[in-house]
Amino acid sequence: MQDTPSRPYHHGDLRRAVIETALDMLAEEKGWQFTLREVARRAGVSHAAPYKHFPDKAALLAELAMIGFDRLRDALSAAKPEAPKTLRDEITPIARAYLAFGTENPALYRLMFSAEEGKAVGMHLNERALAVFDILREILRLGQAAGSIRKRPIEGQAAAGWGLIHGLTMLAIDGLLVPEKVGSAPLDAALSALVEGLGSPAT
């Protein structure tokens, strides 16, 4: 190209630039189209440059998904209350943070759960995803130890909890919860059901 003194021939850290550009495009969420060429165009490099850093498109998407899971885990950790008095007080802010993450990053969230799990990438992705899962599992474990949660197989309880919030998030993303109409009623009701279902009867 002609004169572009600002950008050196060697981008320096094109890998990171590609990822950030891609994340920006995901955030804009213009109908969930994602072309590698568009990413390269936006990053200001040629359409084949990303191939020097990612073997193919799926690899980039997998990377983005993993970053998404990391961010989700961080968001949930940050939302965890310090000294919750009840199980509900402990779970509610985390659930809200989860739902907020999904609705604020719909394209990214969808990508996270739409990556092919048959590939080798799926293994690593599942690791990150299960790290999110572990947060919930830990809460249940401590709750059972403290006696505030029924003593039942944690795997099932955790799956119920994750499934519930994941489903609500997906429905919200798909516009089937009509949040402007329903408000936060579904989340509150769902959490009530969950807390009352998982919590010890004595509580």
Partner DNA sequence: CGCTTAAGTAGTCACTGTCAACAATGTAGT
Partner DNA sequence: ACTACATTGTTGACAGTGACTACTTAAGCG
Task: Specify the stretch interacting with a second copy by CB under 8 A; choose among 14-22, 42-50, 71-79, 171-179.
Answer: 171-179
Task: Please give the structure tokens belonging to residue 140.
Answer: 């249940």
One residue of 20, 100, 188, 203 binding a second copy per CB under 8 A: 188
190 is in the binding site of which of DNA, a second copy, none (Cβ under 5 to 8 A by kind)? Answer: a second copy
Contact between 177 and a second copy by CB under 8 A: the answer reads: yes
Site for a second copy in 23-42 (CB under 8 A): 31
| Nearest distance in Å: CB 36, a second copy | 17
185 is in the binding site of which of DNA, a second copy, none (Cβ under 5 to 8 A by kind)? Answer: a second copy
Secondary structure of the chain in HEC code, one letter for each residue: CCCCCCCCCCCCCHHHHHHHHHHHHHHHCCCCCCCHHHHHHHHCCCCCHHHHCCCCHHHHHHHHHHHHHHHHHHHHHHHCCCCCCCHHHHHHHHHHHHHHHHHHCHHHHHHHHHCCCCCHHHHHHHHHHHHHHHHHHHHHHHHHHHCCECCCCHHHHHHHHHHHHHHHHHHHHCCCCCHHHHCCHHHHHHHHHHHHHHECCCC
**Which CB sits closer to a second copy, 12 or 147?**
147
Task: Specify the stretch interacting with a second copy by CB under 8 A; choose among 4-12, 13-21, 87-95, 178-186.
Answer: 178-186
**Which CB sits closer to DNA, 22 or 194?**
22
What residue ranges bind a second copy (CB under 8 A)?
31, 110, 113-114, 116-118, 122, 126, 129-130, 133, 152-153, 155-157, 159-171, 174-177, 182, 185-186, 188-190, 192-198
